[in-house]
Amino acid sequence: MDTQHIQMAHGGGGQLTAELIEQVVLPALGGPQQAGLLADAAAVAVGGEKAAFTTDSYVVWPLEFPGGDIGKLAVCGTINDLAVCGARPVALSMGLIVQEGLEIALLKRVLASAGRTAAEAQVPIVTGDTKVVGRDALDGIIINTAGLGQLLPQAQMGFEQVIGGDKIVLSGPLGEHGLAIMNQRESLGVTGELASDCAALHRITAELLESLGDQVRFMRDLTRGGLATTIVDLAIGAGRDIEIDEAAIPVNRTAWAAAEILGLDLLTVANEGKLVAVVADAAADEAVKILAGHEVAAQAAVIGTVGPESASPLVEMITRIGGRRVVQMPYGEELPRIC
């Protein structure tokens, strides 16, 4: 593999992405020494109070897909990055890079979707920028969104808060976003309902924190790299072994069938409306109840347990047939341009 130039796999959200951030980006910008320890949003002091700030860029193709489009995706993705860090989203910015020749009708649909999503979430888009580039520079639209949020006083989360015996709660089935896009893009012909799970999760995270307080140890939304990347990051960050139960993971049968066709592991496929929460053992049932009270998390379940401290943290999954499998972070990019 060419190690001197950027590869598409560097954007896949797996091991290569982490290496790029750790070896190239962070040293230049003065950030943390380990990319895996970065949160989805940064806490910054504003007038004596702490706020959360995040940014993300979206390059999905096709621009419109079952369950959403690049506009909805950009709004939900940035809201969720604030939400899982324990913040109440306050405002968003939106920067557009548009390809010369793009149909204005398509641009209008994408922007209308973004505006509608922001209005439903009650998180306004307050500023932005628009640039146009040549026909050969990109495919359609790239959207960058930044988000500002107010940190909730109940949020006391971080890898250092995670202890042995804590439970891992997943809000619903895996892989629906990435596989819905691949089904459309590649005309796989997978029948049945298969739509992106793209959704804003800030109301769910706020209710979890308001109800359970510091019993919520950690949260992250599952995007590039899927559950596998998040769980491995968690194990490394907390310095603890983790065990998950495959039989407890909620399944969308259509997504599972699509993954089988493509030879993909659902643990590594991207999601855009799912989160993992680590909660105290005593709070696990209540956490599931809170999540299941929201339509987007109706299939929430406890899927694993945090184990003892370890110098070489390992994530193991008990398979449906009773075996054990080591869960690893994906190396590069399995599904291009899905978020």
Residue 33 confidence (pLDDT): 58
Distance CA 59, CA 337 (A): 6
Predicted confidence at residue 69, as pLDDT, reads 97
Question: What distance in Å separates the CA atoms of residue 56 and residue 8, rounded to the nearest whole number?
Answer: 17
Domain residues of the chain, as ranges? Answer: 32-151, 159-326
pLDDT in tens, the chain (339 residues): 677 888 777 776 777 777 887 888 888 887 665 555 567 888 888 887 889 999 999 999 999 999 999 999 999 999 999 999 999 999 999 999 999 999 999 999 999 999 999 999 999 999 999 999 999 988 899 999 999 999 999 999 999 999 999 999 999 999 999 999 988 888 777 777 899 999 999 999 999 999 999 999 999 999 988 999 999 999 999 999 999 999 999 999 999 988 988 889 999 999 999 999 999 999 999 999 999 999 999 999 999 999 999 999 999 999 999 999 999 988 766 666 678
Task: Report the C-alpha dihedral over residues 180, 130, 98, 179, rounded to 10 degrees.
Answer: -10
Tell me the CATH number for domain 159-326.
3.90.650.10
32-151 and 159-326 agree in CATH topology:
no
The CATH T-level fold of domain 32-151 is 60s Ribosomal Protein L30; Chain: A; (3.30.1330)
Q: Nearest-CA neighbor of 299 among 166, 197, 170, 201?
A: 170
Phi, psi of 106 (to 5 degrees): -65, -45
pLDDT (0 to 100) of residue 48: 79
What pLDDT is stored for residue 12 in this prediction? 67
* Residue 38 confidence (pLDDT): 66
Indicate the pairing of strand 315-318 with strand 240-245: parallel
In total, the chain counts a number of residues equal to 339
Cα-based torsion angle of the residue sequence 79, 81, 86, 87 in order, rounded to the nearest 10 degrees: -40
